[in-house]
Amino acid sequence: SEQVAIDTSVHNPARIWRLPGTMNCKGDSIPERPHRMARILEEPQDIVSVSREQMQDIVSHQSEDTQTDVPDDDWKHTMPAFDLDSWIAQYCPELGSPQPWKGGRKWIFPVCPFNEAHANKSAVLIQEPSGAVAFKCHHNGCSGNDWRALRELREPGCYDRREEANSDVDLSGILKPNRIEKQEKEAPLFPNPGPVPDKLLSIPGFIDDVVKLSMQSAPYPNRVLSFTGALALLAFLVGRKVQDKRDNRSNIYLIALADSGTGKDHPRKVNFNIAFRAGVAGAIGDAFASGEGLEDALFMHPSMLFQADEFDCIFNTLKYSKDNRAESINEKLLKFYGASNTIYPLRKKASAKKKDGTVHEIAHIVNPNLVLLGTAIPQYFYESLSRRVLENGLVARCIIVEAGKRGEAGNPQPITPSDSLIRAATYLANLDVNGNLTNEYPKPLIITETPEATAALREVQQECDRRYNFYEAQNEGAAKALWARAHEKVCKLAMLHGISSNVYNPLITDKSVKWAWKFIDHLTRRMLYMADRYVYENIFDEKCQRAIRKLQEHGGRLPHSKLLRLLHESADSMKKIAETLQEKGTVQVEYDSSVRPAAKIYRLVE
């Protein structure tokens, strides 16, 4: 009724029995629902013991559908040929490793996939010794959610495809001629996680303050651009000054993808403005023409923030040519990233003048901190990637975020940081550890982390290793490279989260780790999905996939003439592309007989 709700999922005595004299402490103790002492409200006048025979009589009348700790067949299905481990890795990567369970296995969801409010590990996925698969959430609101419901939630259309493939009725004789039969498609190895959720674009304290300033002063406010800009600024300000206990430093490579007119330049202006007021604007650059130039700049300022537009040009040059300058930049970026916690040896020709005018050879840079805030147009960036670029390590070290479409016009204001923001930025820029921090030999502050954060980071590492091993077995080099660097990124971002949350007394908490993992997990899966669409073995394969993307962008159906114009291909090349896609069963050719001559139309096969 409207007044009373019964939790039908509760059935076992351990959950429904309250021992008089003990506290009932479910959830937080709040005025509307305080923790209470369990007590006896009513009791019969005559207390009589229940005999063994009476209890056995009750058991003998138990209904057949009584639930047990192992759910009934209405939510479990035996799938002899089903590879559950691969399915979990693809569609439920948050589950991690299984636990032994009554001769079978059990996975525990950190959060119920059907209801985010069920975050007390109440949802489980079970595989019995027979191979039967079962899902159960112990909350009443999830009583109807079984294994079939879970699979349809995470793998939409999976049962529809199987039913079509297993149909006993042959309808080929009455179907439209030349129709390509639908075949059950394999589950995608890299599903699309969608755009980054807004809730992940927030870190309390310093970063949220910078984001607020950027959003308020931007002609076209964009949360993703503002957030990545703020994250880069903080990483730059604390460069060479902090580390975690694993010796991870704050150097990060961020790439924000946004179309023209979205406002990519505004976060750069905000960062420069704050850095200028904090006295470190001289360590911000906007471009580097060569690896040697980058090296010289970091000798002058061992902690630098480069804010560069059209960052895809570096990858494009690596993809289509053997330009020595691009190779040099790529090499230096890789070396500087790895040298942030060690000593970077400079090239032999590097030199500098002493005060007396004599020239001496420069030997090294201690703990160089290079932070990149690159921007690019999404299409150009993804088209600049190749398998070689993905697997050589630079992309794997980058944190790539898509800004989406341009938002509504804002009410732009002058970029005027608050006094508290300037104080925080100045404090971080001049952070000293007991007077021992020098420009040449820094001794960074080790940011403390809670035991819960340490345990959470250990779990993250295990999960990243599991995914690495999974994609290694699939011979997916790009996925291996990305997951190999995921844990390191989580550590760096968790540290920045702890600093932002309390500039003057930073602490890495389990909340810091959870945010960093969700952020990197989502961006890594998104990057793999986009790379799977854009990166190919050869140029012709790339042309075929570009035709598929154009069809997807136009609802899955395009006339021959329009697709030819969109692809900018010759008629002969277009013919080869169409024939290849038809042979693969990806595209079907139809004819519109309402016009003369009949128009050829390409349609994607679902």
Q: How confident is the model over 525-535, as pLDDT tens digits?
A: 999 999 888 87
Q: State whether 404 and 508 are in the same domain.
A: yes
Examine residue 394 and state whether it is found in any structural domain, yes or no: yes
Q: What was the pLDDT predicted at 167?
A: 47
User: Which residues, in sequence order, are CB contacts of 425 under 8 Å at separation 6+?
Assistant: 206, 233, 237, 274, 275, 277, 278, 417
Domain final residue pick, 534, 569, 591 = 534
Q: Are 182 and 206 contacting, i.e. CB atoms less than 8 angstroms apart? A: no
User: Which residues, in sequence order, are CB contacts of 457 under 8 Å at separation 6+?
Assistant: 449, 487, 490, 491, 494, 513
Q: What was the pLDDT predicted at 528?
A: 93
Q: State whether 107 and 92 are in the same domain.
A: yes
- Quick: pLDDT tens for 248-258: 999 999 999 99
Q: Are 244 and 497 contacting, i.e. CB atoms less than 8 angstroms apart? A: no
Q: State whether 31 and 82 are in the same domain.
A: no
Q: What was the pLDDT predicted at 176?
A: 40
Q: What was the pLDDT predicted at 555?
A: 86
Examine residue 415 and state whether it is found in any structural domain, yes or no: yes
* Separation between Cα atoms, residue 549 and residue 602, nearest integer Å: 13
Tokens linked to 336:
């500087």
Q: What was the pLDDT predicted at 598?
A: 76
* CATH (domain of 215): 3.40.50
Q: State whether 553 and 504 are in the same domain.
A: no
Q: What is the phi/psi pair of residue 297, to 5°?
A: -65, -40
Per-residue confidence band for 79, with pLDDT thresholds at 50, 70 and 90: very low
Examine residue 501 and state whether it is found in any structural domain, yes or no: yes
Four-CA torsion 273, 275, 278, 282, nearest 10 degrees = -120
Examine residue 190 and state whether it is found in any structural domain, yes or no: no
Number of domains in the chain: 4
- Quick: pLDDT tens for 90-99: 888 888 888 8
Query: Of 84, 140, 133, 82, nearest to 114 (Cα)?
Result: 140
Q: Are 13 and 69 contacting, i.e. CB atoms less than 8 angstroms apart? A: no
Examine residue 576 and state whether it is found in any structural domain, yes or no: yes
Q: What was the pLDDT predicted at 164?
A: 45
Is residue 464's pLDDT more than 50?
yes
Q: What was the pLDDT predicted at 335?
A: 92
Q: State whether 437 and 472 are in the same domain.
A: yes
Q: State whether 463 and 552 are in the same domain.
A: no
* Separation between Cα atoms, residue 277 and residue 500, nearest integer Å: 19
Query: Of 520, 479, 526, nearest to 252 (Cα)?
Result: 520
User: For 181-190, 342-351, 380-389, 512-521, which range has the lowest pLDDT when averaged over its residues?
Assistant: 181-190
Examine residue 66 and state whether it is found in any structural domain, yes or no: no
Mind giving me the DSSP string for 151-178?
Answer: HHHHSTTHHHHHHHHT-----TTTSPTT
Is residue 452's pLDDT more than 80?
yes
For the stretch 46-83, what's the b/e string if a residue is b when 16 or more beta carbons lie within 10 angstroms of its beta carbon?
A: eeeeeeeeeeeeeeeeeeeeeeeeebeeebbbeeeeee
- Quick: pLDDT tens for 263-273: 999 999 999 99
Domain final residue pick, 534, 562, 579 = 534
Q: What was the pLDDT predicted at 320?
A: 58
In whole angstroms, what separates CA 506 from the centre of its chain?
25
Q: Burial of 263 by CB count in 10 Å (0-12 exposed, 13-18 middle, 19+ buried)?
A: buried
Cα atoms in the 13 Å half-sphere on the side-chain side of 262: 22
* Separation between Cα atoms, residue 379 and residue 80, nearest integer Å: 43
In angstroms and rounded to an integer, the radius of gyration of the C-alpha atoms of the chain is: 30
Is residue 67's pLDDT more than 50?
no
Q: Burial of 166 by CB count in 10 Å (0-12 exposed, 13-18 middle, 19+ buried)?
A: exposed
pLDDT mean across residues, the chain: 82
Q: State whether 93 and 224 are in the same domain.
A: no
Q: State whether 446 and 313 are in the same domain.
A: yes
DSSP strand pairing (557-559 vs 599-604): antiparallel
Q: What DSSP state is assigned to residue 409?
A: -
* CATH (domain of 89): 3.30.310
Residues 359-374: what's their mean pLDDT?
Answer: 82
Q: What was the pLDDT predicted at 80?
A: 43
Tokens linked to 339:
């040298």
Q: What was the pLDDT predicted at 64?
A: 41
Tokens linked to 504:
């003057």
Q: Are 124 and 136 contacting, i.e. CB atoms less than 8 angstroms apart? A: yes
* Separation between Cα atoms, residue 345 and residue 568, nearest integer Å: 48
| 396 residue type, one letter | A
Neighbours of 537 (CB within 10 A): 9
Q: What was the pLDDT predicted at 579?
A: 84
User: Which residues, in sequence order, are CB contacts of 171 under 8 Å at separation 6+?
Assistant: none
User: For 65-79, 115-129, 196-210, 389-403, which range has the lowest pLDDT when averaged over its residues?
Assistant: 65-79
Per-residue confidence band for 238, with pLDDT thresholds at 50, 70 and 90: very high
Tokens linked to 147:
């294994």
Mind giving me the DSSP string for 553-581?
Answer: HTTTEEEHHHHHHHHT--HHHHHHHHHHH
Tokens linked to 403:
């800004």
Per-residue confidence band for 390, with pLDDT thresholds at 50, 70 and 90: confident
Examine residue 80 and state whether it is found in any structural domain, yes or no: yes
Q: State whether 284 and 256 are in the same domain.
A: yes
- Quick: pLDDT tens for 140-193: 777 778 888 888 888 877 766 544 444 454 444 433 444 333 334 456 788 999
Q: State whether 55 and 82 are in the same domain.
A: no
Examine residue 282 and state whether it is found in any structural domain, yes or no: yes
Domain that holds residue 55: 13-60
Per-residue confidence band for 36, with pLDDT thresholds at 50, 70 and 90: confident
User: For 48-52, 187-191, 200-204, 552-556, which range has the lowest pLDDT when averaged over its residues?
Assistant: 48-52
Q: State whether 488 and 372 are in the same domain.
A: yes
Q: State whether 127 and 216 are in the same domain.
A: no
Please name the residue that has the structure tokens 């890299």. 190
Mind giving me the DSSP string for 481-515?
Answer: HHHHTHHHHHHHHHHHHHHHH-TTS--B-HHHHHH
Order of strands across the sheet with 557-559?
557-559, 599-604, 587-592
* Separation between Cα atoms, residue 316 and residue 350, nearest integer Å: 28
Question: Which one is predicted more confidently, 270 or 319?
Answer: 270
Q: Rank 178-187, 235-244, 434-443 by mean pLDDT and report only the highest.
A: 235-244
* CATH (domain of 577): 1.10.10.10
Q: What was the pLDDT predicted at 16?
A: 59
Q: What was the pLDDT predicted at 82?
A: 74
Q: What was the pLDDT predicted at 606?
A: 65
Is residue 596's pLDDT more than 60?
yes
Q: Are 525 and 470 contacting, i.e. CB atoms less than 8 angstroms apart? A: no
